[in-house]
Amino acid sequence: MIELQEALWKKEIWAIGGGKGGIGKSLITGNIGITLARMKKKILLVDADLGGANLHTTLGIGVPEMTLSDFLNRRVENINDVIIKTAIPNLNLISGAQDFLDAANPNFAQKTRLLRHLETLDADYILLDLGAGTSFNILDFFLFSDHGILVVLPEPTAIENAYRFIKSAFYRRFKKVVANQNIKDLIDAAMDQKNTMGIRTPYDLIERVKGMEQEVGEILEMEVLKFRPKLVVNQVRTKNDVQIGFSMKSACQKYFGINLEYLGYVEYDDCVWQSVRSKRPLVIEYPYSRPSRCIERIVHNLLRKEQLTLSMLY
């Protein structure tokens, strides 16, 4: 039975994104990857923050000679040529772009080629460390993944940007399944929160679309059910900070109709910045720290398809 399950296993791609920079995406991506690798999973980390790659630094690796930009710019044809074996068993890395000025905005052909090649690689899990913001490239990587994970800080600006990211990803997903140009234009207009059409939520948009094409509106309703982004709250200091994840989950359900899954949180601790400064991964340098335990719980929830619940906190 185990052999059959392994034969049927399809690699999963996880994308870790966020609405703003400096929220700990790279640190969380790297340490989730290490935790999985220690569980004997074959892991590939991909620094897809094409404008400010630094995932290699969180792993204690110097600037690699070959990076993702070499593949995007066809200086190498085989993506395996830019894969770096790390000192951690089962963990490999594709470092981000360093010297290719246009790499932060790959064109459609480059993006398609990259995603196609990633699917051919020998790995159990591929983790994409995305850049900050809501550019189409970032949203497309997030939507392409099997699981899109959103990192947020318990701060008003970070939370606001996280909601904007979710809404932008959602509407981008809508556009991917719509052929009618008039409906595409409507979705573009609805992206403006101050639009004059009275469209404030995805459900408002769907009702407007149904008035244009009932069948397309029903397809978009199905997309609402299938879109299940996941949330990690980073740098938690208080119980109220932990509660933010549950509040965001409720708000997304109420106002967007989106089922946001709360994976867990990572506690604030001096050992985190100390590990960054020493260029040593958190879960290796401080394996018994509270943040490392938080990372382990997040990985557990990801693998078991579970969420954080209030009962787990008490």
In a domain? residue 187:
no
Domain count, the chain: 1
Residue 221 lies in a domain: no
Exposure on the CB side of residue 135, measured as CA atoms within 13 A: 14
Residue 18 lies in a domain: yes
The H or E element containing residue 244 is: helix 239-251
279 within a domain of the structure (yes/no): yes
- Cα 31 versus chain centre, distance: 14
As a whole number of angstroms, the distance between CA 241 and CA 118 comes to 36
Facing residues of 131 across strands? none
Overall residue count recorded for the chain in this entry: 314
The token duo for 233 is 């709250």
- Top pLDDT among 201 and 117 is at 117
CATH of the domain at 139: 3.40.50.300
> Does the pLDDT at position 160 exceed 50?
yes
> Helices 290-303 & 25-37, crossing angle to 10 degrees?
70
Residue 287 placed within a domain: yes
Query: Average pLDDT of 185-192?
Result: 88
The pLDDT value recorded for residue 201 is 82
For residue 90, is it within any domain?
yes
DSSP string of 65-114?
SS-HHHHHTTS-S-GGGGEEE-SSTTEEEE---SS-GGGGS--HHHHHHH
Contacts of 239 (CB under 8 A, 6+ apart): 313
Separation between Cα atoms, residue 115 and residue 314, nearest integer Å: 42
| Pair 148, 229: CB distance under 8 Å | yes
The percentage of the chain sitting over the pLDDT mark of 90, rounded to a whole number, equals 62
Say how far residue 47 (Cα) sits from the centre of its chain.
11
Domain-located, residue 162: no
182 contacts 47 by C-beta, under 8 angstroms:
no
Which conformational region is residue 105 in: left (phi greater than 0), alpha (psi within -120 to 50 degrees), or beta?
Answer: beta
Looking at residue 8, its pLDDT comes to 45
pTM recorded for the entire structure: 0.90
Is the residue at 309 inside a domain? yes
Q: Which DSSP string corresponds to 2-39?
A: HHHHHHH---EEEEEEESSSSSSHHHHHHHHHHHHHTT
Report pLDDT for 224. Answer: 87
Give the pLDDT of residue 308: 82
Closest CA to 109 of 66, 74, 147: 74
Q: How many CB atoms lie within 10 A of CB 159?
A: 18
CA 270 to chain centre: 25
Query: Could you list the residue range(s) of the whole structural domain that residue 38 is in?
Result: 12-156+233-250+259-313
Structure tokens at 274: 């100390």
**For residue 2, what pLDDT is reported?**
40
According to the model, what pLDDT value does residue 213 have? 93
Which residue in this structure is represented by tokens 């044809």?
Answer: 77
| 35-94 residue pLDDT tens | 999 999 999 999 988 766 688 888 888 878 888 888 988 899 999 999 999 999 999 999
Cβ neighbourhood burial of 166 (10 Å; 0-12, 13-18, 19+): buried
Gap between the Cα atoms of 141 and 14, Å rounded = 9
Report whether pLDDT(4) > 50: no
pLDDT band, residue 314 (cuts 50/70/90): very low
Question: Which residue do the tokens 């906190």 mark?
Answer: 313
